[in-house]
A = this chain, B = another copy of it.
Amino acid sequence: VSVSREDCVALDAADPLGAMRERFALPEGVIYLDGNSLGALPAHTAAHVGRVIEAQWGRDLIGSWNTHGWIDAPLRVGAAIAPLIGAGSDEVLVADTVSINLFKLLAGGLSLRPGRRVIVSERENFPTDLYIMQGLRDLLGDVVLRVVPHGEILGALDDSVAVLLLNHVDYKSGRRWDMAQMTEAGHAHGALVLWDLCHSAGAVSVDLGLCNADLAVGCGYKFLNGGPGAPGFLFVAGRHQAEIVSPLSGWLGHEAPFAFDTAFAPARGIRRMLCSSPSILAIAALEAAVELWAGVDLAQVEAKAGRLGDLFIALVEALCEGQGLLLSSPRAARERGAQVSFAHRHGYAVMQALIARGVVGDFREPDLIRFGFAPLTTRYVDVFDAASALAAILREGVHRDPRFGVRAAVT
C-alpha cells in the first residue's frame, strides 16, 4: 500500500475539520464508523438537555412555551438546518419522524398535482420509504406506485407522475443520485421531486435550492448527531407552501392554534406541515448538535467525505486482496455518500469480529459490511486502522469463530 499510518496521522494534522472531533464525546478504544446509523454524542448535549429539564421544564413549567421559545423550536431548529441542505430559512421544519414526514409530503405532493395519482420510486429505497408509500396507496385506493430498479427510473417517468421520490444517497451502497439532473428529469414531466436526505444531510453537499427541488425529508439522528430517534425534518420549497395540504392536520399546523377554532385552517408557510409539538427534550438535543455546524465549510465536508472513502477503498482492496471482498459502493467519490460497503459471503460474522475488536460498522442484508465516515468525527487514521483490522480478521480467519456467526435479533 502506498499510504502508511504515519501518512494518515499527517493528513489528520492538516485536516481543516480536524478540530471538530473534540466537540464530541467519543468512547475510548472504539473506532466508530456507524455515524450513518446513529451519530456520535456532542460533548455539550447532556448539559444542554439537563438545563432544559431543570431550569426550563422544572422551574418555569408551562410558561416555558413562551419564555424559553419552545413554541418556535420546530421553525428555529429547521432554520438552523437549512444552510446544510441549501434551503431558505423559512423552508425547513423539524417535526415528527422521517417516516411520518414522508407520509405528509407524499400526500402533500398529490395535493399539489390534482389529477395525477402516480408515485415513482426505486426498489432499492430504504424500506420505510417503500412501506409508507404502500400504506398511503392502501389508504387512498386510487394511487399507483411505480417502483422500479434503480437503473429504470428515467424510463418510469411520464406525464401521469405526481411525485418522484428518491433517496439522495442509498443506505446500503452509498450510491448518490445527481440531484440536479434527476430533479430536472422529474420536472420535464411536470412531476414534483421529493428527496430523502437521510444519508446525505451532514455527510455530503446538498443544495436543494440550486437543484430547484420541491420537497425533502431528512433525519436528525445520523450525520446531524441529534440523538437516538431524534425528530426528523422536512423541506417544502417556498413556491409550494401556499398550496400544499398536510394530511396530518393537527392543531399546531393551524393558523391560530390558540384560538381553538372548530375548523382547521392551515398556517401560512412551512408551519402548516407541523402536526403537534415535538418532544422539547428531543429537539433540544438536536438543536445542540446543529449548533456545531455553524461556521463549518460544507465544501470541506464534501471533500473530506470523498477522501475518507477513497482511502478506505484503496486500503481495503490492497490489504484484503483475494479475501472475497467486493466493493458495492461507487468508486467515484462524487457518486457516493460518506459511506462505503463491501460484500462478503460471511459479511455478518466479519462485522461481528470487527465490532469485537472495537471497529464499529454495521451489517446489511444479504451480505454487506457497511462503514460510515462522518466527516466531523472520523480521522484518516481511523480509516487506516479499520482497514488494517478488517485485513487481519480475514487473514487470520477470526470471523470463523462460531461466536461471530449467530445473528442477533437486531443489528
A residues with a Cβ closer than 8 A to B are 25, 27, 30, 32, 34, 37-38, 40-41, 45-46, 49-50, 53-54, 57-66, 70-71, 96-100, 103, 107, 123, 126-128, 130-132, 134-136, 138-140, 147, 227-231, 245-251, 253-254, 257-264, 275-283, 285, 355, 360, 362, 364-365, 408-411
List the B side residues contacting A227 at CB < 8 Å: 53, 57, 279-281
List the B side residues contacting A45 at CB < 8 Å: 53
Count of identical protomers in the assembly: 2
27 contacts between A and B (CB under 8 A): A27-B59, A27-B61, A32-B61, A34-B62, A37-B62, A40-B61, A49-B49, A49-B50, A53-B285, A61-B360, A62-B360, A63-B355, A66-B408, A99-B250, A99-B276, A100-B248, A103-B247, A123-B262, A127-B262, A128-B250, A128-B276, A131-B249, A228-B281, A229-B276, A229-B277, A229-B278, A259-B365
With A96-B97, A99-B250, A134-B249 known to touch, is A34 a contact of B61 (CB < 8 Å)? yes
List the B side residues contacting A103 at CB < 8 Å: 247-248
Q: Which of B25, B27, B249 is A135 in contact with, Cβ under 8 Å?
A: B249
* CB–CB B247/A139 < 8 A: yes
* CB–CB A127/B282 < 8 A: no
- For A30, A66, A282, the residue with the greatest tally of chain B CB atoms inside 10 Å of its CB is A282
List the B side residues contacting A64 at CB < 8 Å: 228
